[in-house]
Each structure stands twice: as structure tokens, then as C-alpha cells.
Chain A
Amino acid sequence: MEEVKIIEIKKSVFGENLRDAEELRSELKEKGIFLLNLMSSPGSGKTTTLIKTLSLLKDRLRIAVMEADIDSDVDARKIREATGIESIQLHTGGMCHLDAEMTRQGLENLPLEGVDLVILENVGNLVCPAEFDTGSCTNAMILSVPEGHDKPLKYPLMFSVCDTVIINKTDVLEYFDFDMEKCREYVHMRNPRAHIIPVSAKTGEGIPELADWIYKLVTNWKNDSSYA
């Protein structure tokens, strides 16, 4: 029988991406561009919430948007038409998430001159995007009321990597047995520091608070020299 030779590797599959992400984050810090990575299940309202929120922010900040869709440019076009904000489509090549390298390539295709805030709408999925650091300066996710308040129990990693949890579609609360207090409790079990903001992208309720919160994240980051 042929002898088997073993070569030890002992290397995390995520290691290389982590290094890429750290590098991207420090480059962004140097350029003063705040990158917000927005994640959620498909259809929880990422695009609708962005349109409403960015309309309130666009006079205060220079903004650009990257939309990761597996195969269409519907969302990028929607954002552009509704808000006039520069928005491009990222091609994920069928992948279930974006990694730091794909994010960097996307940024290279945006005119970033003078931009303060770049929003990345990640692929709709609660598992994979949580596992891959995109190099973003902050992570946010949207949980919509019809999905149920126990999602933080089922998708722990997603909730533990997000600094902001937006609870969308509060206009339909009365039709679902969604327990807001339980939801807060479960989110904080995963991440005690997570900031929770209930909104309805449909009625606009909570959207000004969300806009102010994002504005605060951007300005705090810009003023904090240790935050890299």
C-alpha cells in the first residue's frame, strides 16, 4: 500500500477573510468612509427601509449604496429612482454572502469622492452573511414582525454580530402574536449592547429615530480616533 503523507495546516477557513476585513476597515477609517452592512431574511424590508431612511439623511450626509442581489439590479434601480442616491449592484456570483474581497471590489466601482456613508445591502439570509466579516464599520440587521420574535434564539450568530437590530413592519403587529418585550430580551441575550429600533417602513413610524441613530453612528465614528 502507498504511504500517506500528512501535511498539517491547522487554519480557520474564515481566517483569510478576517484579515482582508481588518485591512479594509482601516483603509475606510483613513478615508473617513463609514460602511454599514445591512443584513436580514429575504423580504424583511431592507430596500423599503433604506429608501425611507436615506431620504431623511441625504441632506446631512453624502451617501452611496451597494446592493448585493444574486441576479438582478431591481433594488439598486429602486434606490436610485426613489432617492437620487448613487447605487450600484454587486454580483455575488450565486454566493450566499459577501466577503471582504467582494465588498472591496464593489467599493472600487463607486464614486467615493466626499462620501461619508456607504450602505451595503447584503444577501437576504440570516446564516451565511453573519459568518463573513465584510470589513464594515458596523453591522445592522432587520427582523420583520411576520418572521416572529424568536428569531434571535434560532439564529444566534446573526444577532450577536449586529450592533443595531431594526424591527420592521410594526404596522402589522396586531395581526401577529409578535411579543416585542420577549424579542428585546432574546436579542439582548445574544448581544447585551445591541440597540433596538422598531419601525414601519410603510407608515414611516420610527424612521426618524433610525435616521438619527445612523447619523450618530457615523459622526461618533468620525470623531473617535481609536475606533478603527
Chain B
Amino acid sequence: MDEILRLENITKIYPNGVTANKDANLSVRKGEIHALVGENGAGKSTLMKIIFGMEQPTEGNIIYNGKQTQIKSPLDAIACGIGMVHQHFMLVESMTVAENIVLGAEPGKGPIPNNRAMIEQTKEIIEKYNFVINPKEKISDLPIGTRQKVEILKALYKGAQVLILDEPTAVLTPQETTELFRELRGLRDMGHTIIFISHKLNEIKEICDRITIMRNGTTVGVHDVGSVSQQEISNLMVGKDIDWNIEKNPPKRGEVILDVKNVSVLDEAQRSILKEVSFSLHAGTILGIVGVEGNGQSELVEAITGLHKADAGSIKFHGNDIADSSIKQIREMGLAHIPQDRMLRGAVVNGSIEDNMIATFIDKEEFSSGPVLKTKKIRSWSEKLIKDFMVKTDGPEVPVKMLSGGNIQKVIVAREFSSNADCIIADQPTRGIDVGAAKFIHRKLIEMRDNGVAIMLISADLSEIMDVSDSLLVMYGGRFVAYFPDASKVSEEELGQYMLGVKQQTSEEVKGCIA
């Protein structure tokens, strides 16, 4: 097969002196799905932004269709037929699907866009690629999986032959991922070339043809996906053997820490999303909550953590009702929360790593006396967290927005895990995190549970939730539909049936999760 894109000895040094890429080489063939893997901060996103013209290489060449090419801006890239779906969504939520798809290349002569053509062309492209989306819907009304498709259509509309997908599945449910893969195969069959970044090696085995592995900014080899095992891939990524085992003793179940009773929540449109759910969380246990996204998990988390108050029901933390407490009060009582949407809620992206790590403890005596901060203490403490959690950075004063996606996540996890809380709500704690660091977080969760912390784990990754949790609750349609007191006694298939609403336990069985 012909080579469509080649990167030769790309080096990228950011203005702040960070070397993100060093002598990276990449060769992509026309019509293949090419995987790019590497640890958090290995330089994958940077390399892709260089191809898409959002960053300029410090050194090195880009050869596109056999010709050396300068890509100075996304416009150049689009003109070459290169499209990119970014790690963080690039959509304008108040606009419609059609407007987002044509944005930057609106149909119609002169200053006024041709609305009819806009809708027509959007419809055409949606049909051509067998997607199912209503072009007139607003982005803010769409589920995450559909937004992802709009991103892909945006690139295709502008004539992308080469499509770069930077961790497209990180935010998708297993069902949405399956659908995305079907569509990606369709695209490949139509002659498109896809570069696919993911930390989920099983996905790569499933859909990719070849794989390039990156380590510390440089590429360390390219393989046929069929000829390397997941184990080999991750060893190549890290440069040494990874310990895959997780040791887990039986839980020492303590008193009830969190007691949720008949909690209901309504959405903006006043539909009830959470319907009188009840459960208890015990000290020293990990309760996993599974479900297809949009079945009430996020609302449950928001109600407990105080981000969005419940409309009815009671939530008791250590026996005190927290339904009307502020987020700060709830945190002070000892509840930590790793939020799902890091860019929106977890991190102050313009702040430094240190600021973010200290954000929720700023009032603690260790770090401040009165209004004055103890900067030395804060410094040494954040340096320790950076080391413990393997955050890849030059130091605690670096702004969070300059970190790679997975490293931003690590900063938040580090802060929440070190808060001395006796209850942690971990919402997708390893989303976007590389395999090695994910294992570390899993071990940490288990270690904390052994120290008597109560943990509620929400995850779309079934293998993660089954490995780590002690007991499991399945959510469907805003209710709990199944309870498994022993997580090791269920299979993925069985869980899947409950998640899709095919099966349902009796309400007596589900009530096992109370007290």
C-alpha cells in the first residue's frame, strides 16, 4: 500500500522549554487505521497537532502524498485533506449540529451563509457516512457519543482524507464505542486513512492495522497489530515490564458512612432522571456503580457532592443530612470527589499544578496561618504528589493547561486521594490515563479501602470496575436494577444485560444494598 503521510525526525520544543517530541518518525499508509500509543505526556497529542498545523515543529519534515509539505495552520491542513478530532471537544454548544459542521467553511457567497444549503449539505454528509444525527439539533442537547460524531463529520465535511482521532473513546460508553468502530471501519472501506490514539489496548487490537509506539517524545517502533500482544505493547511504552496483578484481600466492612434514601433529581426539561434511589456505602468497601452513560449516574454523583442539589430524598453523611450543605461544607466533613469532567469542574486550567493541588485544602492549618499561605510547605507537598502520582512535568509551578490530558487527570486524582477523606466518590478516575498509571490508581484505591475509606466508584470501563469493586450496583433508567454483593461473582455478559435493561432483579434483591 502507498504511504500517505510521513513524519521525519520531528522535534518540538514548546516556548517554555519543554521538549514534547524528539526525533519522532511516523509513517502512515493510505487506507489503514494506524494506532498511536504511549504513556501520558509521551507527546502523542503534540505530534498530531503538528500534523494539523496547530503547532509548528522546531525541527523535522512532513511528507504528505510524497511531497514535502509545510503546514502552517489548521487551514493548510484542511486544504491538504487532513482533519482532526481533538482530545477535548471543540464544539460550540449553543449552535446547531449543522452550524458546527460547516463552521469556518460556511456555504453561500458573500457575508451571508446559505442556510438551506447548510442543512442540505449536512444531511448529505450524514447520510453518506451512515450516521444518525439531526442537523438542526443544538449541541448542548446531544449526548457525548453523538457530539463525538459531530466532530468526525466536521472533519469529513471539510474533505478530510486523513482523520486524526485523539482519544476518541475516552469519553464513550462501550456501546457508543462499538458504534464508533463500525463507522470507522466504514470510513476505512471508503478509502479514508485514520490515525487512532487510545490508552485502551484492547480497542487497538480490535480495530487497528498497525501501531506506532511512543516513549518520552520519541517513536520507538512500528508493528503490525496482529504480531504484538497487549503485554508487549505496554512494555514497549514504558520501557520495562509492568506488573499487571492487583492484590486484593476480602473487604473489612465497617459502619455506614454514606446513606442515600429515595433521592430524586429532575433535569433542565423537568424530566425525572433519578427516581427515588437508595443505597448505603460502608467504610472499608468499594461500591462500583455501572450503567450506560445517561442513566442517572452523573446526577447521583452531583447530588451527593452538592454540585446539583437533589430535588427530593435524604443524603446522610456520617449520620448528618447533607442535602442542604454547601460543597465546601461537604468536603470539610470528609468527602472527596474526582469529577468526571476535569476541564470543566476538576481543574483550574489557567492555574499552576500547585494551585490545583492545594485548591481544596487551602484553609487547612498545615498550609496556611490565617489568610497567609505557607508557600514552602505547599511547594514540598506538591512536589511529593507529583512524584507519587508520576505527573510528567517540570515542576509544580507549571500551568495545568500545559500538561497532557492524562497528566491533568493525575493532578486531580492526586489531590483528592491525599485529602485524608474517609469517603471518596471516584467518577471515571482513570479516564484518559495510561495503563501503568491506571494500575497505580487501582492499587491506591484498594489500599485506601484497606485503611477504612469508603469508596464509590463510577466507571464506564467494565474490566476496571469488576477488578476493583467489592460490590456492584447497576443503573438503568434512573433506578438501580441489580445489586451484586460480591463483584467477583458476575460476568461481563451478565452485567451488560442489566445495563441495557434486558434483565432486572426483583426490588427485594436490589434492596440488599441498603444498610
Partners in one complex: no
